[in-house]
């Protein structure tokens, strides 16, 4: 499953094309759209393959939760933006995550402890999707562990400790 606006920075085209070249028999559910007429989004939605399911926007949070809970792997192609709420939700819902290899995705997934990565290359996406298909035990383990990724890092104790470290280092620099 992919969730996000259908804009180039989120790399849905790369993910879809890589998926279509893979050996996967699963469906790729693409949740999202853009609220304006756009050739990039239209080109994506015009791709025809029985494995592709374009849902458009899903605003009902219960339906969205069901999609997260029932996806085999959440594929995150967001290229910019830092900590992403969509990936935090995927972690909270216990998804196995395959994310674009960026600094902030490595930080969120704690350098691979809570997810896998693909490079911004078609062959990398295809290879990683094939890997996910073959390695069901690894995917199951990522599902079990992903919630720990947010409970370890995205909680008030961790956040306040990091702020205290920054403030203490700033104060010690002034002395």
Domain locations in the chain as residue ranges: 2-149
pLDDT in tens, 105-138: 999 999 889 999 999 999 999 999 999 999 999 9
- Could you tell me whether strands 52-56 and 74-76 are parallel, antiparallel, or unpaired per DSSP bridges? unpaired
Tokens representing residue 160 in the block:
């306040």
Tokens representing residue 145 in the block:
């562990």
Is 26's pLDDT higher than 90? yes
Average pLDDT over residues 58-69: 96
pLDDT-derived band at 170 (thresholds 50, 70, 90) equals confident
What is the average pLDDT value for the chain, to the nearest integer?
A: 93
Is 50's pLDDT higher than 70? yes
- DSSP H helices, the chain, are 12-21, 39-45, 61-70, 85-92, 103-108, 122-134, 136-153, 156-174
Is 46's pLDDT higher than 90? yes
Predicted model pTM: 0.88
pLDDT-derived band at 12 (thresholds 50, 70, 90) equals very high
Question: Where does 2-149 sit in CATH, by number?
Answer: 3.40.50.2000
Predicted pLDDT at 140: 96
Closest to 125 (Cα-Cα) out of 25, 43, 44, 13: 13
Is 69's pLDDT higher than 90? yes
pLDDT-derived band at 175 (thresholds 50, 70, 90) equals low
Average pLDDT over residues 27-56: 97
d(CA 115, CA 75): 10
């Amino acid at each position: 499953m992919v969730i996000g606006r259908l804009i180039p920075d989120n790399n849905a085209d790369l993910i879809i094309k890589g998926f279509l070249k893979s050996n996967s028999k699963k469906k790729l559910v693409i949740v999202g759209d853009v609220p304006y007429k756009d050739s990039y989004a239209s080109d994506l939605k015009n791709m025809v393959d029985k494995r592709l399911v374009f849902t458009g926007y899903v605003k009902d949070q219960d339906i969205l939760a069901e999609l997260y809970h029932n996806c085999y792997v959440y594929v995150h192609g967001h290229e910019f933006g830092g900590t992403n709420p969509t990936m935090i939700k995927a972690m909270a819902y216990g998804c196995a995550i395959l994310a674009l290899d960026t600094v902030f995705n490595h930080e969120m997934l704690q350098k691979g402890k809570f997810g896998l990565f693909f490079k911004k290359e078609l062959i990398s996406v295809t290879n990683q999707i094939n890997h996910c298909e073959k390695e069901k035990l690894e995917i199951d383990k990522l599902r079990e562990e992903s919630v720990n990724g947010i409970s370890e890092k995205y909680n008030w104790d961790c956040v306040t400790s990091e702020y205290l470290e920054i403030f203490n280092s700033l104060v010690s620099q002034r002395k």
